[in-house]
């Protein structure tokens, strides 16, 4: 067991207990710092334990986030955070699981998994740090890039392709909790993460999270983001009907719907498939480790 994953001895954890000592490699001013702060505060406020929480990501600047937390985590491959998290949810119904992703990771290469996680209403909370760009690979257009953005060397005249509206996509695909927040609004983001975690089913949070390096004009988002005044819908058709009036910088919870989540009907177990306190399971693991010389 990695030093940082030893169970915390304290009864009550603070957000600092959820953070590692590693200094994030993110650029100064990157929105992802705000998401890390809000997520760790939400974990502490929810009374979660580091040893019972898992944060799963794909690849991208945003997907580095699990490395900066003391929870268990899996920095998977590009676009594949959701299948891994879904598998973990099957095996460990007892864990708190967060999926952290970017607009490229979650909506481009991982778009297919996104649709089906929404449709299945898997009990997961997914946070997409949306900076409308592939930050890690130095500023290519992503599925949420505005069509007239001309700063990428690959698309110097813009993409001429309409961006994905991830809120509309999540609603139409069947997510039962859909929200938008802003990395620069830590209190609102923390509250939304807490509500998303408490929601039974697939919770999607689009977080406007500026890439100050490749899209410096996003520093202006703090002047245009506003709290939505629209009432929260309780079914997706109600939520879809207000989409036409919803500005791209309006934040809030747009949908919270009660509906059975996937494994309630499809899994026969409610206990972990693997119980680490069970010696038989440990023997199986030891055999496996010996066989594959891990």
Ligand X SMILES: Cc1ncc(C[n+]2csc(CCOP(=O)(O)OP(=O)(O)O)c2C)c(N)n1
What residues make contact with ligand SF4 under the rule CB under 6 A?
A: 26-27, 30, 32, 61, 131, 135-136, 211-214
Q: What residue 27 binds from ligand SF4, Mg ion, ligand X, none (CB within 5 to 8 A, per partner kind)?
A: ligand SF4
Residue 78 sits in the site that holds ligand X (CB under 6 A): yes
* DSSP bridge pairs for 99: 56, 126
DSSP string, 20-64: -SPPP-SPTT-THHHHHHHHHHHHHHTT--GGGEEEEE-SSSGGG
Q: Which stretch binds Mg ion (CB under 5 A): 31-39, 69-77, 124-132, 236-244?
A: 124-132
Q: Which of 104, 163, 201, 210 binds ligand X (CB under 6 A)?
A: 104
Q: How many residues can be counted in the chain?
A: 294
Q: Which stretch binds ligand X (CB under 6 A): 13-21, 126-134, 154-162, 245-253?
A: 126-134
From 130, 143, 114, 109, select the one nearest 35 (Cα to Cα): 130
Q: What residues contact 141, with CB distance under 8 A and at least 6 apart?
A: 133, 134, 149, 152, 154, 155, 159
Q: Which of 71, 142, 185, 213 binds ligand X (CB under 6 A)?
A: 142
Q: Which of 131, 152, 176, 183 binds Mg ion (CB under 5 A)?
A: 131
Q: What residue 188 binds from Mg ion, ligand X, ligand SF4, none (CB within 5 to 8 A, per partner kind)?
A: none
Residue 152 sits in the site that holds Mg ion (CB under 5 A): no
**230 SS3 class:** coil
Give the separation between CA 85 and CA 126, rounded to whole angstroms.
10
> Whose structure tokens read 């879904």?
86
CB of 285 to ligand X, least distance (A): 30
Tokens of 32: 């992802």
From 164, 168, 154, 103, select the one nearest 131 (Cα to Cα): 103
Q: Which of 73, 79, 102, 174 binds Mg ion (CB under 5 A)?
A: 102
Q: Which of 34, 102, 174, 201 binds ligand X (CB under 6 A)?
A: 102
- Quick note: the x/- pattern for ligand X over 33-62, rule CB under 6 A, is --------------------------xxxx
| Torsions phi, psi for 96 (to 5 deg) | -85, 125
Residue 103 sits in the site that holds Mg ion (CB under 5 A): yes
Q: Which stretch binds Mg ion (CB under 5 A): 26-34, 134-142, 201-209, 244-252?
A: 134-142
Give the separation between CA 140 and CA 154, rounded to whole angstroms.
7
CB of 158 to ligand X, least distance (A): 18
Give the separation between CA 39 and CA 175, rounded to whole angstroms.
20
CB of 156 to ligand X, least distance (A): 19
């Amino acid at each position: 067991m990695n030093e940082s994953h030893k169970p915390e001895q304290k009864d009550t954890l603070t957000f600092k207990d959820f953070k590692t000592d590693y200094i994030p490699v993110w650029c100064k001013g990157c929105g992802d710092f705000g998401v890390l702060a809000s997520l760790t505060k939400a974990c502490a406020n929810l009374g979660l334990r580091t040893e019972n929480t898992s944060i799963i990501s794909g690849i991208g600047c945003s997907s580095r986030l699990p490395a900066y937390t003391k929870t268990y985590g899996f920095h998977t491959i590009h676009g594949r955070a959701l299948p891994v998290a879904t598998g973990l949810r099957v095996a460990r119904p007892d864990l708190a699981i967060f999926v952290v992703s970017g607009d490229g990771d979650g909506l481009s290469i991982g778009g297919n998994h996104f649709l089906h996680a929404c449709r299945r209403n898997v009990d997961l909370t997914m946070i997409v740090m949306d900076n409308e760009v592939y930050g890690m690979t130095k500023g290519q257009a992503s599925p949420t890039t505005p069509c007239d953005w001309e700063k990428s060397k690959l698309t110097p005249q813009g993409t001429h392709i309409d961006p994905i509206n991830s809120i509309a996509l999540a609603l139409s695909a069947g997510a039962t909790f859909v929200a938008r927040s802003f990395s620069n609004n830590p209190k609102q983001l923390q509250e939304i993460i807490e509500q998303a975690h408490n929601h039974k089913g697939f919770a999607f949070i689009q977080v406007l999270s500026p890439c100050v390096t490749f899209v410096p004009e996003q520093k202006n988002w703090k002047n245009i983001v506003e709290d939505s005044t629209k009432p929260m819908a309780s079914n997706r058709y109600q939520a879809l009907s207000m989409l036409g009036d919803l500005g791209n910088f309006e934040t809030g919870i747009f949908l919270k719907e009660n509906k059975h989540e996937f494994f309630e009907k499809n899994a026969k177990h409610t206990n972990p498939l693997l119980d680490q306190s069970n010696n038989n399971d440990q023997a199986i693991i030891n055999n496996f480790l010996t066989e594959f010389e891990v």
